Amino acid sequence: MPAATSAFSGKGLLGSRPAPIYEINPASTGAGYLSKELINKMIVGFKRTGRTLTDLYVSPEDAADIREWTDTDIDPVTRREIFQAAGMGMIWNVSLHEVQHLGATGMYNINSSDSEYGKFLASGVTFNNYSLDNPNKTNADGTINSLGETQILGFDLSVNDSLVMPIRKDYEAYDDPTLLRIQKQGFFGWAELGFACLDSRMIGLGVIDRSL
């Protein structure tokens, strides 16, 4: 989420570019739900940066939207394949993946600054370079207080040159002698890891305003 919502400065090596955020105009067809228009817009956006959208991670509610697509949204053959795959599978060679932690009640949704649940909260009405028009607000137990914007994540996984996990300190394991008192065996340990996105062109954020 931080990488997908941040503009890329280039650091003198590459030209700067805006955050890879895609959304359908509220007054246009395909707004307010996971539509073929949004997926198509993300596909075009990836191609304009020299990348290819290969994988799309969506919430259970987004998957439900796909199952409700009619024959006016997609051709009958693709629609049949979607129904056979319970709303997942592939569309236009983009693999669809359902993730529980995305969506309005998901832990990793970008919520309003006054939300009581979630890992990513806006500062005012912005999160990095992402401006929220209708922020999603959640209660402390994860339920919805005010339904708003949810996000989907697209990736170009045809190459593995951008998402890295540098290891600062290798994992060290130790026996846990305290478990011997209860006739058990076990171990504990530590490792220091980092996570980074070296090139934001391989990731894209799709925004769905559920308040529409």
- Tell me how far the alpha carbon of residue 88 is from its chain's centroid: 16
**Positions of the chain with pLDDT lower than 50, given as ranges:** none
> Does 170 fall in a domain?
no
Task: Give the whole-angstrom CA distance, residue 3 versus residue 19.
Answer: 8
Q: How many CB atoms lie within 10 A of CB 25?
A: 9
Query: What is residue 87's predicted lDDT score, i.e. its pLDDT?
Result: 54
> Does 4 fall in a domain?
no
Query: What is residue 100's predicted lDDT score, i.e. its pLDDT?
Result: 93
Task: Give the whole-angstrom CA distance, residue 137 versus residue 59.
Answer: 17
> Does 163 fall in a domain?
no
Q: What's the Cα-to-Cα distance from 129 to each of 99, 107, 113, rounded to whole Å?
A: 24, 20, 15
Query: What is residue 164's predicted lDDT score, i.e. its pLDDT?
Result: 85
Query: What is residue 99's predicted lDDT score, i.e. its pLDDT?
Result: 92
Q: Please give the structure tokens belonging to residue 171.
A: 């994992």
Parent domain of 66: 21-158+200-209
- Secondary structure of residue 122 in the 3-state scheme: coil
Query: What is residue 22's predicted lDDT score, i.e. its pLDDT?
Result: 95
> Does 192 fall in a domain?
no
> Does 116 fall in a domain?
yes
Domain count along the chain: 1
> Does 189 fall in a domain?
no
Query: What is residue 74's predicted lDDT score, i.e. its pLDDT?
Result: 72
> Does 191 fall in a domain?
no
Query: What is residue 9's predicted lDDT score, i.e. its pLDDT?
Result: 79
> Does 43 fall in a domain?
yes
Q: What values do phi and psi take at 79, rounded to 5?
A: -65, -40
Cβ burial of 70 (10 Å; 0-12, 13-18, 19+) is exposed
Query: What is residue 29's predicted lDDT score, i.e. its pLDDT?
Result: 86
